[in-house]
Structure 1
């Protein structure tokens, strides 16, 4: 379980996250949405201890990330799939993580198979397409067989088969009782794979409810329309479409 309570992060005079509170529960896929600059990535970094909050707390199963006895076994994280050393093969990247955290070589082979990387496991990560890089990032997150997954834009660069694979993967993980928090700018995909959504704007909570409830509140009857309505006052720029309706550049 991920618990965020009154979480605030300031950089000088800029407030990136402003008193944010929400939970991501076991057995549930929680979608995390917001416009560019809303504070999504900062919030995820705060949860996994890469940033220190100005105030408030972010915990996983009641513990700060830094206090978890075996973080990789508790929380699988993919925040930037491009962070892999380009000269290292996928296999060597995973093996290095495994050895550091006391994980077996058999588990390395298992996650390579789970993520469809068998044919490229001995290739250098720097030669990977964006989609293959995403698969390697997901493999790294799964390595410790964690009960909690935090995935930032996991379907970026994936082809339709890859998107379907991620959808099934996160649903299966939730069905096993795991906690899944994921961000995506693909509203249609989140509507299909998420149980509930947390929407933020300017670092503040705008909505936290089951997907169907959010959709039913919307005049347009879709998650995308609900998102646009909720975030209307939280974007720096939103143009006009040819039919005069609002047009947005996405949710990153």
Structure 2
């Protein structure tokens, strides 16, 4: 379970995340939706202890990420697949992550297989396409068989076959009772996989509800989203903050 309480991040006079409160529960895919610059990535970075909050807290299973002894066994995360070390092979990239978390070769092989990278496991990452790097980032997130997944823009760079694969993967993970948080600015993708939506704009939570409830009264999810983020309507779903 993910719990965020009054999370705030300021950079000088600019506020990237503003008093954000929400929770993400097991057994469903929760879409984290908002325009570019809304604060989605900053929120995820604070959740994963990559950025220090100005105020508030973010917890996984009741604890800050930095307090987890073997974090890959509890939280799998994809943040920036483009930043992978180009000189390492896919296998070596996963190997050092596995070693740091007490995981063996079986976990590496399973993650590579799930991500469809077994045949390129010993190729250097510098020769990978963006889609292949994305798959490797997802393999790293799955390495410790965690109960919680946090994925930032997971379909970025994937071809149509890869997009179809990630949809099935996310639904399967949620079906196993895992907590799945997926950040995206692609409304059409979240409409196909998400059970719930968290919508933010300007760093503030605009809506927190099921996809069905959020869309009610609108022809499409896109219409509901644009009305919400444009401030054209006052959203009154059960999870509004």
Indicate the TM-score class for this superposition, using the shorter chain for normalisation: over 0.9
CA apart distance, 1:50:
0.8
Does residue 184 (structure 1) correspond to residue 184 (structure 2)? The answer is yes
Query: Quick check: 65-74 or 128-137, which moved more?
Result: 65-74
Structure 2, unpaired ranges of 5+ = 233-241
TM-score, reference length from structure 1: 0.90
SS in 1 for 2:216: helix
Does residue 103 (structure 1) correspond to residue 103 (structure 2)? The answer is yes
TM-score, reference length from structure 2: 0.94
Separation of aligned partners in 2, 1:149 and 1:207: 21
Separation of aligned partners in 2, 1:88 and 1:51: 26
Does residue 67 (structure 1) correspond to residue 67 (structure 2)? The answer is yes
- Deviation string for 1:66-99 (max 9, x for gaps)? 1122211110010000121001110110111111
Separation of aligned partners in 2, 1:113 and 1:36: 33
Q: Could you tell me whether the CA contact under 8 Å between 2:9 and 2:18 is conserved in 1?
A: yes
Separation of aligned partners in 2, 1:89 and 1:6: 40
CA apart distance, 1:158:
0.9
Does residue 224 (structure 1) correspond to residue 222 (structure 2)? The answer is yes
Separation of aligned partners in 2, 1:187 and 1:160: 16
Separation of aligned partners in 1, 2:36 and 2:6: 21
Tell me the matched-pair count.
Answer: 232
Structure 1 residue ranges (4+ consecutive) displaced by more than 4 angstroms after TM superposition: none
Separation of aligned partners in 1, 2:14 and 2:186: 28
What residue in structure 1 maps to residue 150 of structure 2? 150
CA apart distance, 1:120:
1.3
Structure 1, unpaired ranges of 5+ = 235-252
